[in-house]
Amino acid sequence: MHNIQIAAAQIVQQVLVDGRNLNQVLDESLRRKSVWTPAQRAALQDLSYGTLRFYGQLRAVLSLLLHKPMLDQRIYYVLLVALYQLQYSKAAQHAVVDHAVRSAQMLNTKISGLVNAILRNFLRRRDALLEQAALHAEGKYSYPQWWIDELQAQYGDRTAAVLEAGNLHPPMTLRVNQRRGTTTDYLALLKLSDLSARLIAPDALQLDKPVPVDKLPGFFAGQVSVQDAGAQYAARLLDVRDGLRVLDACAAPGGKTAHILERAAVQMTAVDKDEKRLARVSANLQRLGLSAHLVVGDAAEPQDWWDGEVFDRILADVPCSATGVVRRHPDIKWLRRSTDMAGFAAQQMDILQALWRLLAQDGKLLYATCSVFHQENEQVVAAFLALQPDARRLPIALPDDINGQLLPNDQHDGFFYALLQKVA
Backbone φ, ψ for residue 220 (5° rounding)? -75, -10
Burial 57-93 (b: 16+ CB within 10 A, else e): bbbbbbebeeeeebeeebbbbbbbbbbbbbbbeeeee
Contacts 24+ apart (CB under 8 A), 41-49: 43/1, 43/4, 44/4, 44/7, 44/8, 44/11, 46/89, 47/4, 47/5, 47/8, 47/81, 47/84, 47/85, 48/8, 48/11, 48/12, 48/22, 49/22, 49/330
- List the catalytic residues: 370
Residue from 43, 40, 53 nearest 12 by CA: 53
**CA separation for the pair 85, 50 (Å, rounded):** 9
Task: Please tell me what DSSP assigns to residue 213.
Answer: G
Q: Which residues contact 221 (CB under 8 A, 6 or more apart)?
A: 180
Count the neighbouring beta carbons within 10 Å of the beta carbon of residue 104.
27
Say which residues have a Cβ less than 8 Å from residue 414's Cβ, sequence separation at least 6: 162, 166, 230, 323, 324, 325, 370, 371, 372, 405, 406, 407, 408
| Eight-class DSSP state of 226 | E
Check: CB of residue 319 under 8 Å from CB of residue 341. Answer: no
Strand (E) or helix (H) holding 383? helix 378-387
3-state secondary structure of 299: coil
What gap in Å lies between CA 59 and CA 76, rounded to an integer? 10
Q: Which of 345, 352, 347 is nearest to 367 (CA)?
A: 352
Residue 402 DSSP one-character state:
B
